[in-house]
């Protein structure tokens, strides 16, 4: 029962986006949006992403508040670096290992890092759970340590929000690694 409801929701969402892109509500826009939505959902379906953990609202609120704080602070840091006289800051690509089980949560972590000013994820090694992040300011050991501390904190918040050990149920379509 969940699959058909989800498909109808996706089609309705795509029609709404189509109408908003055109800027006015008309029968032609709604019908053409419906046609485009059906073509997208029927001819170009996305693979299903397994949801393996459980949603914890209070932990998600803590995650949102923490990330919002990071966005504000890093925005000011990047702005200060932009107006600071002298040579540009030292940048580097740093590697971080993530201990996240779910591909969906891994994608969420990468999106959070990409939204944070001063960071951009360049590569994701999905099988080893490694990410390579271009970091704007690595001019001191303190700034590098701050980046790794942020990664650790983000992982802890994501695990508390979606991947708690007590709630974890691996999906049936994933291969179980005996190691």
Band of residue 1 on the pLDDT scale cut at 50, 70, 90:
low
pTM assigned to the model: 0.74
What total of structural domains would you count in the chain? 2
Whether 102 and 14 map to the same domain: the answer is no
Which tokens in the block code for residue 103?
Answer: 């591909």
Whether 61 and 131 map to the same domain: the answer is yes
pLDDT of amino acid 37? 94
- Per-residue model confidence as pLDDT tens digits over 62-73: 999 999 999 999
End-to-end CA distance of the chain: 37
Whether 21 and 74 map to the same domain: the answer is no
Whether 151 and 69 map to the same domain: the answer is yes
**Residue 129 scores a pLDDT above 80:** yes
Whether 27 and 103 map to the same domain: the answer is no
Helix (H, G, I), strand (E, B) or coil at 100: coil
Whether 32 and 99 map to the same domain: the answer is no
Whether 77 and 140 map to the same domain: the answer is yes
Range of the domain at 29: 2-43
Tell the burial category of 103 from Cβ atoms under 10 Å away from its Cβ (0-12, 13-18, 19+): middle
């Amino acid at each position: 029962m969940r699959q058909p409801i989800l498909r109808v929701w996706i089609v309705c969402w795509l029609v709404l986006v189509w109408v908003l892109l055109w800027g006015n509500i008309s029968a032609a826009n709604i019908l053409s949006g419906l046609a485009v939505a059906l073509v997208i959902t029927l001819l170009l379906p996305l693979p299903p992403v397994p949801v393996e953990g459980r949603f914890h609202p209070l932990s998600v609120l803590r995650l949102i508040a923490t990330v919002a704080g990071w966005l504000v602070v890093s925005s000011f840091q990047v702005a200060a670096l932009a107006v600071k006289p002298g040579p540009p800051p030292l940048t580097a690509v740093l590697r971080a290992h993530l201990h996240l089980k779910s591909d969906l949560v891994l994608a969420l972590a990468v999106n959070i890092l990409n939204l944070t000013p001063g960071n951009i994820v360049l590569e994701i090694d999905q099988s080893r759970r490694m990410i390579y992040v271009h970091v704007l300011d690595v001019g001191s050991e303190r700034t590098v340590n701050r980046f790794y501390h942020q990664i650790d904190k983000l992982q802890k918040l994501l695990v508390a929000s979606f991947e708690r050990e007590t709630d974890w149920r691996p999906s049936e379509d994933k291969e179980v690694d005996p190691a």
